[in-house]
Structure 1
């Protein structure tokens, strides 16, 4: 069984259990290492985060499939836990979407998320979003499911997260309709993006299946405690910007101190930084093989 197949098996066992899943999101090798070392069981590669750290640009569809799948490979190679990867709109028509799914499988992803925004897409908690019509949205998910099922014959299936952004464009009823359709089509995880109140979140949670809540600090959706989300019917709480925002805040403070001629004090000890990055393991292997 390949590493990717083992990761899928782990992820499926997790989402089929009774455990509520807290899922911090990663964007590079360092954030992935930190999440795994902190004891979390799954992570999600955030498109917002990858666009920010790789390009220094906003999550507005500027990053390409090639750049995203390359980042996914780097992340999956270093991760000891399953990784779900953001694949945006699938990067084209249904044939493109099948290629995207297969590309993420080869990169090592245990899961992939496909959404129904118009391309180029943008962050789900910003203004200016548009979604494709129902037929196009359903074709995208059908293509992803077909690719997943075909790969499953070789034990390389992938967990499919189906996302809709229709709440912000055509209303909650349309978002619920699409989400339920995605669930009935065979998507593994359902994600209705950017509900604007607890009442809306409760309606989404009642759809059943494995529901994911997106906890964007200072975004559109109320950020609620995990227990409250679980009581509403959600199974997963994703935190897409927590690490990115925290690290950017820390870097800004450090730079402000340096500009004032001060040495930042809220930093890791050099030995701890080396340990985090794997220097001891590297030296041990080098010693053993030299």
Structure 2
């Protein structure tokens, strides 16, 4: 079962940069969980929409759809899970129900953004969506902070403000409203120096999604910017799409699995990774001997 908010807070204090990988299903979450030097897991809205619906990240899935993915991911991992809960699925009152649902699913933290609903992921469109009036956005963060079941649940407030000065202003207000970390979008900045200035100005730990132009940065450059969390949100969905596309094209052309152009996990190894040995142990412990029951 996934780690708690208390454990996430402890790890955030210990790590210079807390590294997560974005996932859209339990299989990818389990891979990230069993990979050394990955600190936590982000259930990415983009990845969830892609993996579960085959659609772009435009809030086309419901809160229940999102909670279902988070619940399944949390059930098979030990590392802390941070859930991308989009706009919180409603107003300040609705967000209380939302954060509690994700807490019950096992999330140690949540990311809440200040776009209007339904949102549109900034990396899916040329122009970002409208953002809420700052008073309403602040109220939503305050409601989330007051309404969470466990006060250790980490709240990350994301602003989609495109103007760096406005992003800083909003981040400070969200911090004062109860956010534990603040998060800008990469489109609001053009250089590492601008992002570093944001981190230095907000007087709060910063969560940073490594997408767009940030994907070309080295780890040393990310360190220079200075975030507390670095989310590699699209790593698994991008890799899975490329690998699966090449595998399916090979079968379409060759009608064989031989000489696949992408690496294949051995079936026995995959079954073991998924946990079949533990299932077999439980069967031996709890199920009657089939020979005695069925006479064979």
Same fold (TM over 0.5): yes
Q: Displacement, 1:287?
A: 2.1
Q: 1:289 to 1:19 in 2, by over 3 A?
A: farther
1:165 corresponds to which residue?
160
2:196 corresponds to which residue?
202
Cα distance between partner residues in 1 of 2:65 and 2:241: 22
Cα distance between partner residues in 2 of 1:99 and 1:210: 26
2:208 corresponds to which residue?
213
Q: Does 1:122 align with 2:116?
A: no
Offset from partner CA, 1:115-162 (integer Å, 9 cap, x none): 0001110112232322111111111111111112xx23xxx6411010
2:91 corresponds to which residue?
93
Map 1:1-290 onto structure 2 (within 5 A): 7-39=4-36, 40-125=38-123, 126-128=125-127, 129-148=129-148, 151-152=149-150, 157-167=152-162, 171-194=163-186, 195-206=189-200, 207-216=202-211, 219-221=212-214, 223-261=216-254, 262-263=256-257, 264=260, 266-290=263-287
Asked if the contact 1:15/1:210 (under 8 Å) is kept, the reply is no
Asked if the contact 1:22/1:226 (under 8 Å) is kept, the reply is no
Cα distance between partner residues in 1 of 2:243 and 2:235: 12
Instruction: Please give the TM-score of this superposition, normalised by the length of structure 2.
Output: 0.88
Offset from partner CA, 1:254-284 (integer Å, 9 cap, x none): 0110011142252111111112211122112
Asked if the contact 1:88/1:114 (under 8 Å) is kept, the reply is yes
2:292 corresponds to which residue?
none
Cα distance between partner residues in 2 of 1:222 and 1:55: 25
Q: Displacement, 1:187?
A: 0.9
SS of the counterpart of 1:19? coil
Q: Displacement, 1:222?
A: 5.6
Cα distance between partner residues in 2 of 1:282 and 1:236: 36
Q: 1:274 to 1:18 in 2, by over 3 A?
A: closer
Asked if the contact 1:51/1:57 (under 8 Å) is kept, the reply is yes
SS of the counterpart of 1:160? strand
Asked if the contact 2:199/2:205 (under 8 Å) is kept, the reply is no
Q: Displacement, 1:184?
A: 2.4
SS of the counterpart of 2:157? strand
- Backbone CA RMSD of aligned residues: 1.7
Any gaps of 5 or more consecutive residues in structure 2? 288-296
Runs of 4+, deviation exceeding 3 Å: 220-223
Cα distance between partner residues in 1 of 2:23 and 2:167: 27
